[in-house]
Structures are given as C-alpha cells and as structure tokens.
Amino acid sequence: MNNSNSPMSTHAPSAAGSHLGQSEASFTDSDHDDAVRDGCGVFGVHAPGHDVPRITFFGLFALQHRGQESAGIAVTDGQQFGLVRDMGLVSQVFDEDALTSLHGSIAIGHTRYSTTGSSLVCNAQPLIVETRFGPMGLAHNGNLVNTTTLRQELEAFGVQFQTTTDSEVIAQLIAYEAKTQPSLIDAVKAAMGRMKGAYSIVLLTHDTLYGFRDPWGIRPLCLGRLNSKHHVLASEPCALDVVGATFLQEIGAGELVEITDDGCKFHMLAEEARPSMCMFEFIYIARPDSHIYGRSLHLSRRRMGQELAREHPAEADIVIAVPDTGTPAAIGYAEASKIPYGEGLIKNRYIHRTFIQPDQRLRELGVRMKLNPLREALSGKSVIVVEDSIVRGTTTRNIVKMLREAGATQVHLRISSPPYRWPCFYGIDTCEQNQLLAAREKDVAAICEHIGADSLGYLSVEGLVRAVSLPKNIFCLACLTGEYPIEIPAELKVSKFSLEDLSEEEQLALCMPTNS
Ligand code: SF4
C-alpha cells in the first residue's frame, strides 16, 4: 500500500522520498559489487507503554545489512494504524519528526532489497491491507516461487493489487482466506497451505503481533524478551541485542508465534515441516554477531576458514581478507595455516547506497570506491586473500589486480564456500545462471585464470557442513549443488536459466517447442 492512498495515518518524511523515490535505475555500491545480495530484514515489537517506533527504528538499524533500498515502520495503538516508509537507508527514511509521528504499543518494521517487484517506493514495506478482522500490517523476508499463480487466482476473485511484490500477494491471500476462516491464525494456516517459497513474516493487527516462517524455514526469524514481560521478533538476534532484548528462541519452520498482552502462544501451522535453512545466511548474509540454530556465525565462518586452509594450503607471507564478510574466514585460515593474518584491503566504512551517478572515470575505478589496498602490508609479499564467495567474478578480478598493483608478488585466492553455480529463487538476488562465473567456467583452473590469481581454492560442501557442525539435510544448498528443496515452476525457472537448461517437461509446461 502506498503512503499516498493509505487510509491510515502516514508521514511523508524528509527529502529522501521526494527525490530518491523517483529513481528506479539508481547507482549503488552493488553496481560494481558482484556479491550475493541480501533480501530483507523484518522486526516486530509488542511493548505497551514503550516507544515502540523508536525500538523498531533501532532494530531495523541493526538489520540494515539485509536490505538497503527502502525501510518502513507500521504501528498501532489499538485503534489507529500509522505507517512511514520510503526509499533509502533506515537513517534516511526516519528522522525525529518521522518517528514522533508514530504512536502505539505494537510495531513492525522492514528493510528491503527487492527480489520480486521493482525498487520503487510503492513496493516498500510494511504494507497494510484490510481483512475481515480489521487492518493487518505485514513485513516479509524471502521470496515466493508461485507468486504468478497465486496472483492470477486472486485477481480472478476480484482482488486488486497496489504493488508488484510477492509480499502483497501474501497479504492479500491471507485477507482472502480470512473471509471464510474463523480466525486470522486459521487464515494464515490456509494461506501457508497454498504458498510455496521462502517467507519469514511479522504481522500486526490492532491487538496482536504475529511472526511465522515457511515450512522449509529458509529465512531466519527469532523471538526475544524485552524488560521481562514484552516481546520482540527479528530476522537476526543481533537486532535483539541492540534494543536490549534477550534471545528466547528461533521460530521453527512452519511455526507461528502469537504475541498479546497475555504473552506468547506457539502454533505449528505446517503439516509437514522440512527444514532447509539458507546456507548463505551462515556464509555471508547474517551478521557475524548473530547466531542461528545455536551456532555463532562468527565462529562458523572462522571454522570455514580453518577447513579451507586444510583443504587448500598455500605458502605465503600473509593472509588477508576481503573485508568485512571475508574477515572471520581469513582469521580462521591464518589460525589453521599458522601464516600471520593482517589487513591488506581497507574498506571505506562510510560507503552505502548512493543515488548519485559516478562519471565514467570514477566507474572505471570501480571497486576502489569501496576497497583500497594497504601497500605497506602487501609490497613484496606473497598473499593469501580470503573471500566468502564469487558470483560474477568482476569484483574479485579487480581485487586481485589491485593487490598486484600494490606490490603483492603472488596472490592466492581462497573462497570460504563452494562454487556458486545455480541462481537463488528464495529471496537472495543473484543474476542469471549464465552470468555466474562458476557456471560458465566449470573448471577451477579456468576460473583462476579468469580471475588472474596464482592459485584458487574453494571450500568443499563437506568442509562447509563440517564448519557449521549441523546435519547437512537441514540446509538449502541449492545455489551450490543445484538441488532445490522447493520445486521451481518452469515459468520462474526460465527467468534465470536458458531454455535449453530446462527439462523437456518444463519446456512443454511453458508451451514452447522442445529440441527433440
Ligand atoms: Fe540460500 Fe543458496 Fe538456498 Fe538461495 S539457493 S536459499 S542463497 S542456499
């Protein structure tokens, strides 16, 4: 729902919306960064008597790494709903005026990186829809794979959509099911029976905060306690720490938590939960100071580096990281290899999304806007550089070139994850398969040549699983193995695979002629 047509009280904040909201083709640091891009972060708080919009602001601030395109907060005082959302970082969308315009006892918030629907202000979240039980706010992390089918079905029933997101499809589906179900929880359960894909969701009604996860549990969602009697939901525990809440538990795959003045109630809504947590949350996405399934992300990444050192040793003078995400694995590599760890690349700490277009000369400098080599540490040295993943390979190639120009005599590249060969359909934005370097160049030696490194080693799937020390079968590893835990419909698959990569059956499903 757009601010301008919302029946709820809203606030159009600062300059951020007025000019940033117009730009669909904005330049970001991601334009010269071929990393896996995060999906979204969600946050919710039920705390009567507390400044819940401010708590949500700081919760979203801690989840900024999960999405930098837009941010929003919806709040209710039990009667009215308030909503502020706009394009930009949390700190750009919310100023003191925006926060003080919101009042209530329950709030939800969202930071977004678009995976379905364009990067437009109308697609920012939370969104608010009317249901038989009253207004309902919703914020979603993840991506449905059957959005098109569900949307067409709902449109056939007369539902009109305001946005192009799968999140609105979810909200409208719950609202549609609410027409015939005895409670909102039953409506969510009925909707869950029809939705396929990844969704960790916080829901807001006039008196209740809900949080629930898809039956595969692909994206994280956790519950915390605030001031001994209130509750907080967040994509990651790091957001609980920031607002002074203590971690209670993760919401299980297919589970819903209902939070009211009387406390929390848990409901298992999925008949068959099949946990398939995104392994990239462990490798890269979640903050290192978070923990998932009881595992510290920082320690898991350090162990990935240790496994990597055992699988792919190299002789060198120094181990450096591609900061920040490669840092824990580089420390682990140094620990296991007994080669000293040091800083070799300095990250511009203050870089974030900018909507200012660089000129051609600055574009050519590319990665240097974000990373600059430390010549004193690199000159005359043989260097092991540890990165968490390679997607397209353009940034990695530039980094290797930059290290050589700074005087490194040898550059040995080590990647703390297996080759990224298949696109993600579950809420992480990656390019088409033919743009993935490891899909184009199947041979590691060919990838190494393309990157320009002296040697290249990827962590194996087995080494990765050992590092997180959890059973392999509770993870989604689809982008590393091609085994998708939730079937991808042919009409979606064709958006990221070339037609000839689809099976004959899938091609037929698209009503296209097959090669045979
Ligand atoms: Fe995560 Fe990869 Fe699975 Fe996507 S395909 S959910 S990025 S493990």
Percentage of the chain beyond pLDDT 90 is 74
> How do residues 88-133 score in pLDDT, each as one tens digit?
999 999 999 999 999 999 999 999 876 556 667 778 899 999 999 9
> How do residues 170-212 score in pLDDT, each as one tens digit?
999 999 999 999 999 999 999 999 999 999 999 999 999 999 9
Confidence tier at 19 by pLDDT (50, 70, 90): very low
- Looking at residue 14, its pLDDT comes to 36
Distance between CA atoms of 1 and 169, rounded to whole angstroms? 12
Task: Please state the atom number of ligand 1 nearest to the C-alpha of residue 475.
Answer: 8
For residues 286-315, give the mean pLDDT.
Answer: 97
Task: Please state the atom number of ligand 1 nearest to the C-alpha of residue 218.
Answer: 6
Question: Quick check: helix, strand or coil at residue 132?
Answer: coil
| Ligand 1, CB cutoff 6 Å, lining residues | 218, 278-280, 424, 426, 428, 476-479
Task: Please state the atom number of ligand 1 nearest to the C-alpha of residue 478.
Answer: 5
pTM of the predicted protein model: 0.89
Task: Please state the atom number of ligand 1 nearest to the C-alpha of residue 480.
Answer: 2
Q: How far is CA 30 from CA 131, 282, 348, 373, 401, in A?
A: 38, 20, 14, 19, 19
Distance between CA atoms of 324 and 327, rounded to whole angstroms? 5
Q: Is the pLDDT of residue 24 over 50?
A: no
Q: Is the pLDDT of residue 344 over 50?
A: yes
Contact in structure between 219 and 198 (CB atoms under 8 Å): yes
- Looking at residue 3, its pLDDT comes to 36
Mean pLDDT of the chain: 88
Task: Show which residues are catalytic.
Answer: 40
- Closest CA to ligand 1's atom 2: 479
- Looking at residue 511, its pLDDT comes to 67
> How do residues 449-493 score in pLDDT, each as one tens digit?
999 999 999 999 999 999 999 999 999 999 999 999 999 998 888
Q: Is the pLDDT of residue 25 over 90?
A: no
Distance 318 CA to ligand 1 centre (A): 32
Confidence tier at 361 by pLDDT (50, 70, 90): low
For residues 6-11, give the mean pLDDT.
Answer: 39
Q: Is the pLDDT of residue 341 over 80?
A: yes
Q: Is the pLDDT of residue 260 over 90?
A: yes
Distance 99 CA to ligand 1 centre (A): 35
Task: Please state the atom number of ligand 1 nearest to the C-alpha of residue 280.
Answer: 1
Q: Which residue of 219, 389, 424 sits with most ligand 1 atoms within 8 Å of its CB, as the best mutation to test the pocket?
A: 424
Q: Which residue of 429, 474, 477 sits with most ligand 1 atoms within 8 Å of its CB, as the best mutation to test the pocket?
A: 477
Distance between CA atoms of 453 and 397, rounded to whole angstroms? 8
For residues 312-341, give the mean pLDDT.
Answer: 97
The DSSP-derived string for 88-106 is S-HHHH--HHHHHT---SE
- Looking at residue 505, its pLDDT comes to 76
Distance between CA atoms of 365 and 361, rounded to whole angstroms? 7
- Looking at residue 122, its pLDDT comes to 77
Percentage of the chain beyond pLDDT 70 is 87
Instruction: Tell me how far apart the terminal alpha carbons of the chain are, to the nearest angstrom.
Output: 47
- Closest CA to ligand 1's atom 1: 278
Distance 419 CA to ligand 1 centre (A): 13
Distance 284 CA to ligand 1 centre (A): 11
Distance between CA atoms of 73 and 136, rounded to whole angstroms? 13
Confidence tier at 253 by pLDDT (50, 70, 90): very high
Distance 140 CA to ligand 1 centre (A): 17
Distance 399 CA to ligand 1 centre (A): 25
- Looking at residue 441, its pLDDT comes to 87
Distance between CA atoms of 474 and 246, rounded to whole angstroms? 25
Q: Which residue of 277, 278, 474 sits with most ligand 1 atoms within 8 Å of its CB, as the best mutation to test the pocket?
A: 278
- Looking at residue 357, its pLDDT comes to 57
Q: Is the pLDDT of residue 299 over 60?
A: yes
Distance 229 CA to ligand 1 centre (A): 36
Distance 275 CA to ligand 1 centre (A): 13
- Looking at residue 34, its pLDDT comes to 58
Question: Quick check: helix, strand or coil at residue 221?
Answer: coil
What are φ and ψ of residue 192, in 5° steps? -60, -30
Bigger pLDDT: 334 or 37? 334
Q: Which residues contact 160 (CB under 8 A, 6 or more apart)?
A: none
Q: How far is CA 224 from CA 40, 108, 232, in A?
A: 19, 14, 5
- Stated length of the chain: 516
- Looking at residue 116, its pLDDT comes to 58
For residues 506-515, give the mean pLDDT.
Answer: 62
- Looking at residue 7, its pLDDT comes to 35
Q: Which residue of 436, 461, 479 sits with most ligand 1 atoms within 8 Å of its CB, as the best mutation to test the pocket?
A: 479
Contact in structure between 43 and 245 (CB atoms under 8 Å): no
Question: How wide is the angle at C-alpha 88 spanned by C-alphas 85 and 91, nearest 5°?
Answer: 85
Distance 477 CA to ligand 1 centre (A): 6
For residues 487-514, give the mean pLDDT.
Answer: 77
Confidence tier at 4 by pLDDT (50, 70, 90): very low
For residues 269-293, give the mean pLDDT.
Answer: 93
- Closest CA to ligand 1's atom 4: 424
Distance between CA atoms of 288 and 47, rounded to whole angstroms? 28
Q: Is the pLDDT of residue 218 over 90?
A: yes
- Looking at residue 430, its pLDDT comes to 75
Amino acid, single-letter form, for residue 84? V
- Looking at residue 37, its pLDDT comes to 59
- Looking at residue 362, its pLDDT comes to 67
Confidence tier at 8 by pLDDT (50, 70, 90): very low
Point out the least confidently predicted range of 1-15, 212-226, 330-344, 357-371: 1-15
Q: Is the pLDDT of residue 504 over 80?
A: no
- Looking at residue 118, its pLDDT comes to 62
Task: Please state the atom number of ligand 1 nearest to the C-alpha of residue 477.
Answer: 8
For residues 2-30, give the mean pLDDT.
Answer: 34
Q: Is the pLDDT of residue 67 over 80?
A: yes
What are φ and ψ of residue 408, in 5° steps? -65, 130
Task: Please state the atom number of ligand 1 nearest to the C-alpha of residue 279.
Answer: 8
Contact in structure between 209 and 138 (CB atoms under 8 Å): no
